[in-house]
Amino acid sequence: MAEQPRLLKGLDPEQRTAVTAPRGPVCVLAGAGTGKTRTITHRIAHLVERGLVVPQQVLAVTFTARAAGEMRTRLRALGAPGVQAQTFHAAAFRQLRYFWPRVLEGQMWPLTDNKFRIVMQAANRLGLSTEKESVRDLAAEIEWSKASLIGPDQYPAAAARAGRSAPVAPEQIGRAFTTYEKLKNHAQVLDFDDLLLHTAAVLEEHAEVAEEFRARYRSFVVDEYQDVNPLQQRVLDAWLGGRDDLTVVGDANQTIYSFAGAAPTWLIGFSRRFPEATVVRLERDYRSTPQVVSLANAVIDAARSRPAGTRLRLTGQRADGPDPQFAEHDDESAEAEAVVRRIAALVQQGTALSEIAVLFRVNAQSEVYEKALSDADIPYQVRGGERFFARAEVRQAMTALRNAAARDDSASGDDLPTLVRAVLSEVGLTTEPPAGGSARERWESLNALVELAAELAETVQQPDFARYVTELEMRAEAQHPPTVEGVTLASLHAAKGLEWDAVFLVGLVEGTLPIQHADGDDAAIEEERRLLYVGVTRAREHLHLSWALSRASGGRRHRKRSRFVHGLVPDGHPAALPGTTTPRARESKPKQTVKPRCRICATPLASTMDIKLGRCSSCPSDADEDLLSQLRSWRSERARQLKVPAYVVFTD
């Protein structure tokens, strides 16, 4: 038999179908961890290797800077450097900057460094509340309108149709939107959505620009297509200009941006739009252990409504691993300390720091983990939050880099990383990292800026200093910090598409996940459930879910375990070991009571003693390790058949 081409090795038959499909529309509809991102990178590399596309003519877009960075790294490793893998915004920024002087006057307007302030000014002018919360809500509504291609006049009707719960009268929001646009235009600055709006408009209205663009980019790939919004779809259509060389991959069960206007409609309707498309479904989960896959299936099976095309069932391909663990704590600090103790234990057992993530619903939850990790001297990085760019050393570094770019004293002939390192040595970057503690953390942040320069030097054609500073400004605006070695702290939104060996899902309480404002809104609750699904499916091996019954130590225990945990961890299970309490049955109103099951053979437990021991009388005690490990694989198979996730409730 002829040897398989290099790029088809390590792919299953369905993945291979998508990789080898001829240029033209291709859609991969599949669950988390089934290799969608792997499939598209192999497809691009395969087309390049076969000489069917030129790398520079491919534009691959995804939703986070880190995902784009990872795609570039994967493509380089597969022998396809030079492919543009960008976020929608970064791609639009680059195109608009290039075309702006030709179709509009002068240089492209800069991105506003404080959109919030402009919204506040607009609110102030109209006599609306300028409280932080109200302004934030107003900004979110303006953003939703722009992402949904809805103008200020259309806002009231559209908001009513979409069931938006507006903070003030819809007519007022429409007026605030108009005023915001006027103020922004007057200041000659752009917001992020303007990048996309202007890019689409330039391509739609200037035939010669569109022609030049379309001669340059011929093949398009979109990862995480379930989260495309109407504005991004319009840009994509403008890029395509009636052509159909488009590969999309996505998982409707991972739609987590519908509050901001995204919809899986385009993913699900792809084959209607392109009837000749190659459509592939993947169901083998290569990322996670069967235990994690089983829990993920249980989370998403509980969804109230699932559109057609989303009922894919994942089957785990990896060897058995540890059971997902659940823990309940008295307060948030106790939860964070317990999580950090487990992180330290994992590190001691050989898990790399970069293979561990703590994921939460809202960025404010990060603080208590930052403190606990700092106290334990464990390096970490915060992703999807403003903290990286708010750090004193990063702010100092940005000023030094901006000044160097303005002086333009970078012409010396050194490569970009060397230039950046030289400037950062002025603000204290040493060649070797300091031993530990806060000095090490500062070093890691500054070094991440050098790493970013190295990444840029490999991926853009003219990696000059000005380009680097612009990239940095964009990242600061979008709060996409570069990679720092350490435990990742990230919001669930920022974690999509990524994976770690060990994942800690924390703060699983009512009001946080699901978030308070989703209460009473079925669609919003379902989106919160999908967020949990995204979180669960990030774990390769170790998965740990936790919650705390009060915020502060000694505080009133008024927090309730998230309704989503119900059914995953059996009510009444004896978790009452030191430091935790038993999960309470009264917290949510179960439609169906889950009986405690034997954690070895998954049979429902009847006697109080069995429930206390967590196993039935026919199964061996924990001491019998050998037998236990044999039984473990049988049990997870059995659990799969019974459609109950394997579980263990532990405490430290």
The annotation places the binding site at: 30-37
In the bound complex, what is the minimum distance in angstroms from residue 284's beta carbon to ligand ATP?
7
Interatomic CA distance for residues 44 and 56, integer angstroms: 11
Nearest distance in Å: CB 223, ligand ATP: 7
**Residue 615, CA distances (Å) to 58, 72, 574, 609, 612 in order:** 56, 48, 11, 9, 8
From the list 479, 531, 528, 517, the residue with the least C-alpha distance to 137 is: 517
**Shortest separation between residue 454's beta carbon and ligand ATP, angstroms:** 23
Question: Does 583 engage in binding with Mg ion (CB under 5 A)?
Answer: no
Check binding of 563 to ligand ATP (CB under 6 A): no
How many Å apart are CA 225 and CA 242, to the nearest integer? 19
Report how far residue 531's alpha carbon sits from residue 491's, in angstroms, rounded to the nearest whole number: 10
* Smallest distance, ligand ATP to C-beta of residue 591, A: 28
Strands (E), 371-447: 380-383
Residue 177 φ then ψ, to 5°:
-60, -50
Beta bridge partners, 491, equal: 360
Check binding of 332 to ligand ATP (CB under 6 A).
Answer: no
Contact call for residues 260 and 293 (beta carbons, < 8 A): no
Please, what is the minimum distance in Å from the beta carbon of residue 215 to ligand ATP?
Answer: 31
Among 10, 81, 151, 434, binds ligand ATP (CB under 6 A): 10
Give the containing element (helix H, strand E) for 515. none
Integer-rounded Cα radius of gyration of the chain: 26
Using rule CB under 6 A, residue 198 touches ligand ATP:
no
Among 18, 19, 33, 423, contact with ligand ATP (rule: CB under 6 A): 33
The window from 2-10, 28-36, 129-137, 149-157 that contacts Mg ion (CB under 5 A) reads 28-36
What backbone torsions phi and psi does residue 520 show, to the nearest 5 degrees? Answer: 85, -5
Is residue 32 within the footprint of ligand ATP (CB under 6 A)? yes
Q: Are 63 and 86 in contact (CB under 8 A)?
A: no
Find the shortest distance in angstroms from Cβ 250 to Mg ion: 9
Per rule CB under 6 A, is residue 497 in the interface with ligand ATP?
yes
- Give the whole-angstrom CA distance, residue 328 versus residue 570: 13
Residue 255 engages Mg ion in binding (rule: CB under 5 A): no
Alpha helix stretches (DSSP H) within 489-577: 522-536
Per-residue interface string for the shown chain with Mg ion, residues 153-192, x marking contact by CB under 5 A: ----------------------------------------
What separation in angstroms does the CA of 520 have from each of 263, 514, 523, 524? 21, 11, 9, 8
From the list Mg ion, ligand ATP, none, pick the one residue 12 interacts with, judged by a Cβ distance below 5 to 8 Å according to partner type: ligand ATP
- Does 38 bind ligand ATP (CB under 6 A)? Our answer is yes
Kind and range of the H or E run holding 343:
helix 332-348
17 binds ligand ATP (CB under 6 A): no
Asked if residue 31 binds Mg ion (CB under 5 A), the reply is: no
Answer yes or no: are the C-beta atoms of 288 and 533 closer than 8 Å: no
Contact flag: residue 485 with ligand ATP (CB under 6 A): no
Nearer to ligand ATP, 246 or 293 (CB): 293
CB of 109 or CB of 286, closer to ligand ATP:
286
Residues forming the site for Mg ion (CB under 5 A): 36-37, 497
Would you tell me which residues interact with ligand ATP (CB under 6 A)? 10-12, 15, 30, 32-38, 251, 254, 286-287, 497, 499, 537
